[in-house]
Chains A and B, each alone.
Chain A
Amino acid sequence: MYSQIRVYYPYISPFDPCPPIRVKTYQVNPQLFIGFQPENLPQFSPMEALRLGTLWPALYSPYSGRGDQEGLEG
């Protein structure tokens, strides 16, 4: 399962007043690649669906913070 987080490296100017954020991340969720949802996709059980936030594993998109708070330095 490929990761749903991609990174990019913003340009850091020598005149930036604040400490630079070297790495920034963005989410690429499954619905970007699925387009119109096909029928009869496999499903989670009700309890799992409630916990994971979606009924279909194909659309499951966990989010665990931006990562730059923990100093995701480039």
Chain B
Amino acid sequence: MNSANQPGDKRYYELLEQLQAIDFVLVELNLYLDTHPTDRNAIEQFNQQTEQRWAIAQEFESLYGPLLNFGHSYSGYPWQWNNVPWPWQV
């Protein structure tokens, strides 16, 4: 986590909001695809959004540390999972 970006700065919230929007779209598409398994365009869009979500999460984690724990995200050194800000402080 380089010194330029501290958790809670503008870029932090920008990335989080983009991630939130992409996640919502993925939830909607996932539920839609549950009942429309043959909709090719929706599946393509879902895969594109998933790829994009990975890119945003990757950038966020490289700047501010893990988003998830228990092996769903990498951590830097020293252990970053219990760093501030906690979710309710964001």
User: Chain A's nearest CB lies how many Å from the CB of B17?
Assistant: 8
Interface residue? A37 (CB, 8 A): yes
Number of interface residues of B (CB under 8 A): 15
Residue contacts A-B, CB under 8 angstroms, 29 given = A36-B35, A37-B32, A37-B35, A37-B36, A39-B36, A39-B39, A39-B41, A39-B42, A40-B39, A46-B18, A46-B21, A46-B22, A46-B24, A46-B25, A47-B21, A49-B21, A49-B24, A49-B25, A49-B28, A50-B20, A50-B21, A50-B24, A50-B25, A54-B28, A55-B24, A55-B25, A55-B28, A55-B29, A55-B32
Instruction: Give the dominant DSSP class at A's interface.
Output: loop
